[in-house]
């Protein structure tokens, strides 16, 4: 096997590469800005004492079909995990470039599964495709078959993900290729750089470094959380399974309120200073996912939220030469 990973130096992508190398699988790791990201990416992998002889690092702009074809022509790609994407804050600044990457680029990758006989392609969609409020669904965990219309969307990012899912299913129907996606909830972990959800970094990193954190939502706000390494491993396991039963999978994991999140943080860092903006709006996502489908499909249990936050905090502390919390 040989995997092509797009967006490989990003927040989730580098964890996907790590998981693949831990399984001794060849990886072609690509990104649009490899020159600036290469040093920090290799430094990240080095910390895990990985065998990088099976790693090839290349620059790739997925909006240019010829560049993708060149990657396939010069490698023996069998699987793809496609994490490269422009995030919400970058979409608003440059919608044309975002459309080239998020719409044209993803469609180019779907087409490459046909043209180059890829065994499986996995990509992260988003829980944002369910709209900006739990109210649409009532007081229940949202299932993959639940649906909301565009009238419940407020982010271009979410609509682009909806279009990606629509296009992917067209390729599945018309060409009988194997493509599937996850719908990650709030992905947290150390090392976010470009995101409109920087609070999903700060809520654990800042207390871990002895700094106060202010969260931009009320203390009774609810969100579903998944640790970044678990999000990456879900995609790897879906890519490796011989046959999948579904196209879309909620990442799921654990739902807590701001108060419950505060309690976990204080259990790990007893003197942590955490405040909330009780006059602010609630986060524009559903509150809870039904994740039974993915747990049964790949027989993988994500770590508890407390275990994930502890791992997040310890990575932040290691990167700042501080002793890990036990």
In a 13 Å sphere around the CA of 45, the CA atoms on its Cβ side amount to 27
Pairing of strands 274-276, 213-215: parallel
Going from N- to C-terminal start, the domains of the chain cover 2-185+227-253+288-302
Q: Is the pLDDT of residue 216 over 80?
A: yes
The pLDDT confidence band at residue 35, using thresholds 50, 70 and 90, is confident
User: pLDDT, tens digit, for every residue of 252-274?
Assistant: 999 999 999 999 999 999 999 99
Position 44 scores a pLDDT of 93
CA–CA separation, 7 vs 145, rounded Å?
28
The pLDDT confidence band at residue 196, using thresholds 50, 70 and 90, is confident
What residues have CB less than 8 Å from 299, skipping those under 6 apart? none
Nearest to 207 by CA among 258, 304, 275: 275
Instruction: Spell out where 88-234 has E strands.
Output: 120-124, 179-183, 186-188, 213-215, 222-227
Tell me the pLDDT of the chain averaged across its residues.
Answer: 96
The pLDDT confidence band at residue 89, using thresholds 50, 70 and 90, is confident
User: pLDDT, tens digit, for every residue of 46-62?
Assistant: 999 888 999 999 999 99
The CATH code that applies to domain 2-185+227-253+288-302 is: 3.40.50.720
Q: Is the pLDDT of residue 240 over 90?
A: yes
CA–CA separation, 125 vs 146, rounded Å?
15
């Amino acid at each position: 096997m040989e995997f092509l990973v797009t967006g490989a130096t990003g927040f989730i992508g580098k964890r996907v590469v790590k998981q693949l190398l831990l399984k001794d699988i060849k990886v072609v790791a690509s990104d649009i800005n490899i020159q600036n990201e290469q040093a920090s990416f290799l430094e990240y992998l080095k910390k895990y004492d990985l065998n990088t002889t099976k790693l090839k690092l290349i620059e790739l702009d997925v909006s240019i079909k010829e560049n993708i074809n060149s990657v396939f022509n010069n490698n023996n790609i069998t699987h793809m995990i496609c994490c490269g994407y422009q995030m919400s804050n970058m979409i608003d600044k440059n919608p044309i470039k975002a459309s080239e990457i998020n719409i044209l680029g993803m469609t180019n990758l779907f087409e490459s599964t046909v043209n180059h006989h890829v065994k499986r392609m996995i990509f992260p969609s988003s829980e944002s495709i369910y709209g900006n409020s739990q109210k649409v669904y009532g007081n229940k965990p949202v299932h993959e078959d639940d649906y909301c219309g565009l009238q419940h969307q407020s982010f271009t990012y979410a609509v682009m993900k909806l279009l990606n899912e629509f296009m992917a299913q067209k390729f599945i129907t018309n060409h009988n290729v194997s493509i599937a996606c996850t719908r990650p909830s709030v992905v947290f972990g150390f090392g976010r750089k470009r995101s409109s959800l920087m609070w999903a970094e700060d809520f654990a990193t800042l207390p871990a470094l002895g700094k106060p954190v202010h969260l931009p939502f009320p203390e009774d706000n609810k969100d579903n959380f998944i640790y970044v390494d678990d999000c990456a491993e879900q995609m790897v396991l879906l890519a490796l399974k011989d046959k999948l039963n579904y196209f879309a999978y909620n990442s799921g994991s654990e739902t807590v309120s701001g108060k419950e999140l505060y309690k976990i943080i204080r259990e790990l860092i007893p003197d942590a200073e955490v405040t909330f903006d009780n006059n602010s709006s609630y986060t524009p996502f559903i509150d809870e996912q039904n994740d039974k489908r993915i747990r049964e499909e790949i027989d993988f249990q994500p770590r508890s939220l407390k275990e994930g936050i502890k791992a997040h905090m310890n990575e932040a502390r290691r990167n700042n030469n501080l002793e890990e919390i036990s």
